[in-house]
Structure 1
Amino acid sequence: MIHSNTVVVLGSTGSIGTQGLDVISRHPERFTVSGLAAGGAHIELLAQQAAQFHVPLVAVFDRQAAKPLREALDQAGAHGTQIQAGPEAVIGLAGSGADVVLNGITGSIGLEPSIAALQAGSQLALANKESVVAGGHLLFGAQIRDRQINPVDSEHSAIWQSLRSGTHAEVSKLIVTASGGPFRGWKRDQMTDITPEQALNHPTWHMGPVVTINSSTLMNKGLEVIEASRLFDIPPDRIEVTVHPQSIVHSMVEFVDGATISQASPPDMRLPIALGLSAPDRLGDVAAACDWTKAAQWTFEPLDDEAFPAVSLARHCLAASEKHTAVLNAANEQAVHAFLDHRLPYLGIVDTVKAVLDAMDGELRGAPLFKDVEEMGQVEREARRRADDLINRQQ
């Protein structure tokens, strides 16, 4: 008899959430959606999801979205679906005790829901890398790494799968692959006039706007180095980044005997999402496999740290403290939003992050670990304030 898992999807109207629900819709015997959470910007879609999956409870971050959501739910035929509103409602839903919580929220606001899910004993299918980057030990203090977190980022899922080939002591290094984004091969002096429209045109992946911009600057790869180090307990000097524009090899693990194990598949986030939901089992009918009857070429290139300094900056923060990584993430979120709003030039994104880190470096080194989520929030707010000040001066 197949056991059906209850699933809560956080960020259900975003890229990860919609693809996660697509996977769930193909396996109705395996999953029951017990709750959905979203920011509140896409009310009609959220209502349609609730109706399709007969969801008993929906939570929205934006309290103002509750009334129009009720109307949309009734129109969609989901009359029995209850609504809760506000950040605490999303955290409460995450901690409701579902078998699996898929966290597809973008940004560090996903940390408290991640902690709540872990404390409730749920399996956490984690696509919210900011939980790991900003939260540090606040997240890992709530669980056992290899038993309760299922990585959903394609790179970390690939490492997670490859690690099944050996013990932790047998790992020599982790190799995180990067597509290189839309500006692969460009030099820094060619990037001065890049527009948001250009940066959002990713060559291989379809993602949300913030993640897509982060992929273009390779800040996303820097955040993934931090996440890989903390998820798999590997020091940063044993994590390499290689540029692989085809996005077929999603990451690799090199073992002490010289063997390298990789996970390869055409770029489709439904594969790591599905494994995050069903692990240790694999589901059928998830994504297309590689077609070995056709000629193909996979290439790997070194990272150009001069043109894309974000990875080096992330390594510096990882070595310094978890407070540095929280500042990195918070300042970057502000800079990315400013760029998307045409208030900051493209090169100003990483430059602003570095300037904030330089300004706060002294005060961050005093106590490297956060006492609690509130202290993390204070540090993040200060980083955002300083980033906004720098951005406003440039206008």
Structure 2
Amino acid sequence: MASVLEARTPGFNPYAVKYSPYYDSRLAVAASSNYGIVGNGRLFVLGLGPPNGIQIEKYFDTNDAQYDLAWSEINENQLAVACGDGSIKLFDLGVDQFPVMNFHEHNREAFSVCWNPITKDTFISSSWDGTIKIWSPTRPQSLKTLPVGTCTYSAQFSPHNPSLISCASSDSHIRLFDLRTPVTAKYHLTTLIPAHSPPPPLPGSHGPPLLSNGTPYPGSVPSEILTHDWNKYSDTLLAAGGVDRTIRTFDIRNPQGGPLSVISGHEFAVRKLAWSPHARDILVSASYDMTVRVWNDGTGMPLPPGMQQQGGVVNVGTEMGRMNRHTEFATGVDWCLFGAGGWTASVGWDERVLVWDAHTLLRR
């Protein structure tokens, strides 16, 4: 593998990394002391470029652990950080240390934060308290609370629809909330996807559903979903991964139809995944097995003779390559939006930020 740029986060174990949506030379890392169990957190802002490769340009401390971050979509110098005390803090690169806004309604750890990439005027947070909250960056009170009812590790706005919010949680389900619908008793909940349910059998078949390689669909036990992401090229396609080490993709138009693709290979839980912003069928994942892997979701692979892509046939994703330089849990990964389409940043509990070109893996 080609050279890897590296920065250290001494005394802090990273949980998340995000490239700036404005500059390909800037990224940020949310990190926590003592692996996020107890102690404070630190937000690192790093710059890329000569002569030093990658270096810390600024940092912000918080009294509790930091688990996730999101760059503002309306101000290139601001970032929101999800903290272990349930708060979301908004920092500005032009203001030293103190947050410019503090949002605190969650009563347990805030574990994810995501800015609306379309309207750009709101962001969301999710928490172990079983709720998603919608915020405006200009007011301390939330605009709306969406009850999930179970520990919610990951929440995102759709990159295609500003009214569509998805979340992944500990009860093995992916939920979709459409803010255009009436509140009613379901609080905008429109779709519930059981992530570990098998697809329906093939029409007329008496056997189990099949994978695209002709083998029976493997059984699975419901387990916690730790991460999910929207495909950037299809407004109905999601990927999710978690404790059972497997990544699955789903079409939200067929929530009971089981996964479209199954991607296996990690030896421990999948902590973070992200679809490529440059290719429809490529995604990257970080795992507690200390590896970061690049995958093809298998949708472009031809089916064996006699098999048709219809109910019961699930694509098999393939590993394109892996980056194994981390020496502790790999906890975060993100794609750079700019350039040729391969630059990736990853972080792990080894107090390291690694920036590398995924194309070097794909060419192996």
**Bigger relative CO (Cα 8 Å, ≥ 6 apart):** 1
Structure in which a larger fraction of residues adopt helix? 1
TM-score > 0.5, shorter chain as reference: no
Per the normalisation by structure 2, the TM-score is: 0.30
